Structure 1
Amino acid sequence: MTRFALTLEFDGTPFFGLQRQAHGPSVQQAVEEAILAVTGETVTLHAAGRTDAGVHALGMRVHADVAKDIAPFRLMEALNHHLRPAPIAVLTCEDKPDDWHARFSCVGREYLYRIANRRAPLTLDANRAWLVAQPLDADAMHRAAQALVGHHDFTTFRSVHCQAASAVKTLDRLDVRREGTQVLIETAARSFLHHQVRSMVGCLALVGMGRWREEQVAEALAARDRAALGLNAPSEGLYFVRALYPDD
């Protein structure tokens, strides 16, 4: 039995999320079915993160245990063949020790959120960015974001459906910058709560629009109350960038 670690890139638009769902297609189901087609084996895919419906990935790490004797490169090529036409690509494939785990061995996760700050509708970026027509002050958003960096109780920015045992997390980085008509939000932490990134982005967008004072982000955090949340950003602008491991 070989433990294969895969790096996945995917467009989350047609999926009900990464994790298997009873009511619709998922990234996990698509990859597991591709592995079955290649090896004849029914496997369980384990991922570094659980992305919601419509969320994308640039470098999601997953693993599966396979009995078939097959080289990593051949497995990657075969999976990419069988995954077509689903918008999922296997970027890398390597064998790992039996104690390596895509989720539990992960020591850091990075996300990117893309806001298209323009009045014109999206064409090439449809379903891949949040369209905000009102001008955004990215500098004000960045200043407000720094109140969220560090070790805090993020109850305000946590989904009511979040299953984490605690709302206390350590946010390593939350940066906002403008690139032309795009406002990009980059964040990193060991782990995140359900909807935490989208909730933080939504509140920062209110600051950028001038609807919230910069200090209101810190006030919302201190409230430790989901009712204090101003806005939950939509899923289409969110990207899982990469997962970090001690052996990287």
Structure 2
Amino acid sequence: MPRFALKIEYDGGPFAGWQAQAGQPSVQATVEAALARLDPGFAAGARIAAAGRTDAGVHALGQVAHADLERDWDPFRLAGALNWHLKPAPVAVLAVARVDESFHARFSAIGRRYLFRLLSRRAPATHDRGRVWQVVHPLDVGAMRQAAGLLTGLHDFTTFRSTMCQAASPVKTLDRIDIQETVLPHGAEYRFHLAARSFLHNQVRSIVGTLERVGAGAWRPERVAQALAARDRAACGPVSPPHGLYLVGADYPQDPFAAGVSTPAG
């Protein structure tokens, strides 16, 4: 059966997360329903696999999934057909690529990248409502960058993972945390860019929530290092809400979309 990689963008607001769940709307089930209209295997209950299982309310700019189909589609036509059948859900297939059967969206990935958007202003968000975490107080980006530097590298991230995390080990290497500040007419937006081979459950949201406390002046930067060393979930700052978080993309030894397959208008 031919295998295809799918690059998927979605607004996580209406969904209970990526993973299919009984009685709950999910991105996975939405994409599989579109595939079921095109392929007998999915009509019979075949499944897709993804690079990362985003939580309820979390968005994606470049989720990667793979699907085994009975028909050997032209990738460009498959993307267009999927986008047609995905309407009106806030899900779009950005690219499709034919891949070798050894490719696995999750297990072949060697890196994952996330973005978290934090808006600081008093007036409520309008255009970005549901797509940023908003606070009304100003933030010190220098202090947040100082604290973020204490978290990069190889560490035991027990403090910064959910108690429901199923990862075998809390030890992860956080390759980078970059914080970009954009001054706005009535406030500022802070974009946190994080990259690692893999992340623990709630790790990004736990880190950003803690860094926000540093930016607000409630924590000194060195307290973040103390929290990390504590290896205790109780030492973590507040967990930021899911609607500011975006899965930007997954990295592979060879980019399956390097040929630049793009979609026709859906």
- Amino acid of the structure 2 residue aligned with 1:38: L
2:130 to 124, 127, 140: 127
Partner of 1:54: 57
Partner of 1:90: 93
Offset, 1:230: 1.4
- Amino acid of the structure 2 residue aligned with 1:247: Q
Matching of residue 200 in structure 1 with residue 200 in structure 2 = no
Q: Give unpaired runs (5+ residues) of structure 2.
A: 256-266
Partner of 2:225: 218
Partner of 1:2: 2
Offset, 1:224: 0.2
Q: Is this contact kept in 1: 2:208–2:240, CA < 8 A?
A: yes
User: What SS is found at the alignment partner of 1:160?
Assistant: coil
User: What SS is found at the alignment partner of 1:117?
Assistant: strand
- Using the alignment, how far apart are the partners of 2:69 and 2:180 within structure 1? 43
CA deviation map 1:88-108 (0-9, x unaligned): 000000110000000000000
Q: Is this contact kept in 2: 1:142–1:177, CA < 8 A?
A: no
Offset, 1:176: 1.3
- Off by >2 Å, runs of 4+ in structure 1: none
2:192 to 174, 185, 195: 185
Offset, 1:184: 0.8
Partner of 2:22: 22
- Amino acid of the structure 2 residue aligned with 1:48: A
- Using the alignment, how far apart are the partners of 1:240 and 1:158 within structure 2? 17
Offset, 1:41: 2.5
Q: TM-score, normalised by structure 2?
A: 0.92
Identity %: 57
Matching of residue 99 in structure 1 with residue 106 in structure 2 = no
Q: TM-score, normalised by structure 1?
A: 0.99
User: What SS is found at the alignment partner of 2:121?
Assistant: coil
Matching of residue 229 in structure 1 with residue 236 in structure 2 = yes
- Using the alignment, how far apart are the partners of 1:4 and 1:199 within structure 2? 34
1:142 to 142, 145, 150: 145
RMSD: 0.7
Q: Is this contact kept in 2: 1:170–1:189, CA < 8 A?
A: yes
Q: Is this contact kept in 2: 1:139–1:176, CA < 8 A?
A: no
Partner of 2:35: 35
- Using the alignment, how far apart are the partners of 2:63 and 2:191 within structure 1? 19
Offset, 1:177: 2.2
